[in-house]
Structure 1
Amino acid sequence: MMELEYIKAGDYYIPNLIANQEPQVHLSKYGSLHKAFLKNHRSGVYTGLLLNGELMAHCYEVQERALDMMDRLTDQLAKSEGVTEQLKVSDQMGWVRRMNNIRSRAEEIVLREVVYQL
């Protein structure tokens, strides 16, 4: 059985519980969305990762996978649909419209397959 240390706070003894320290990393959109997903929908996994000091590293890894997949999908979809620099020169608004559509579809796929998964 584990023995716990206690700290006296006024008239009470409080267990001295310290979670593992984890490195502070900056989470962008996808990392933050994954963290919120875990907290709201997979609270057991969230708590386990938090207590083991692995939450931020896990969210950062998901963020990197999501950004990489977003870049790859955007490039692949643009290439398959013929959205090129030549189109950008000849029809700027058409190029912007098509690229926004491509980015939206790529982001929808990334969110479903990477961010909102374990």
Structure 2
Amino acid sequence: MGENGISYTLGEDSLYYLDLYLPEETEYPIGKYGMLRKTYLKEHRKGLYLELVIAGKLNEHLHQIDEECHQVMDRLVEQMKERQGMSEELKMQDQMVWVGRMNNIRTCVEEITLNKIVYR
């Protein structure tokens, strides 16, 4: 233990090294959007990424992003379905048209979500 209250370890090369430890992190499940956010942070926002790692909050941040994306996507899909007149009646009449429109809506909503939440 040094004079300043910091502990050191003697290395094999006879030099003293600081005993640095990252704080314990709570493990949260990370989904698709959390992983995309992690990749984005590593490649484009390295400072923020390192700050979250050092503070022990990266996993929590990625989990929050994942949850937020799912909530926004669910809300936007419902709003777009209403605006485009997607109904159970259309689903019963012409399933292929309904599936095509729903795929289009989901693709658009995912693009919006990625740009507004994951890649910010």
Q: TM-score, normalised by structure 1?
A: 0.90
Q: Structure 1 5/81 Cα, relative in aligned 2: closer, same or farther at 3 Å?
A: same
Question: Which residue is equivalent to 1:50?
Answer: 53
Q: Distance in 1 between matches of 2:106 and 2:5?
A: 54
1:84 and 2:95 are equivalent in the alignment: no
1:103 paired residue among 103, 106, 115:
106
SS at match of 2:85: coil
Gap regions ≥5 residues in structure 1: none
Percent of pairs with identical residues: 40
Structure 2 unaligned blocks of 5 or more: none
The aligned residue for residue 40 of structure 1 is 43
Runs of 4 or more above 4 Å deviation: none
User: Could you give the per-residue CA deviations for residues 18-56 of structure 1, whole angstroms, max 9, x where no partner exists?
Assistant: 011111111101111111111111100110111001111
Q: Distance between the aligned counterparts of 2:62 and 2:4, measured in 1? A: 31
What is the distance in 1 between the residues matched to 2:87 and 2:54? 48
Distance in structure 2 (CA, Å) of the matches to 1:3 and 1:40: 36
Deviation string for 1:43-101 (max 9, x for gaps)? 00110111001111111111111110000011110111011111111111111100000
CA spacing shift, 1:93–1:2, aligned 2, 3 Å:
farther
* Structure 2 match to 1:75: 78
RMSD: 1.6
Q: Which structure is larger by alpha-carbon Rg, 1 or 2?
A: 2
Pairing 1:25–2:35 present: no
- Number of residues paired by the alignment? 117
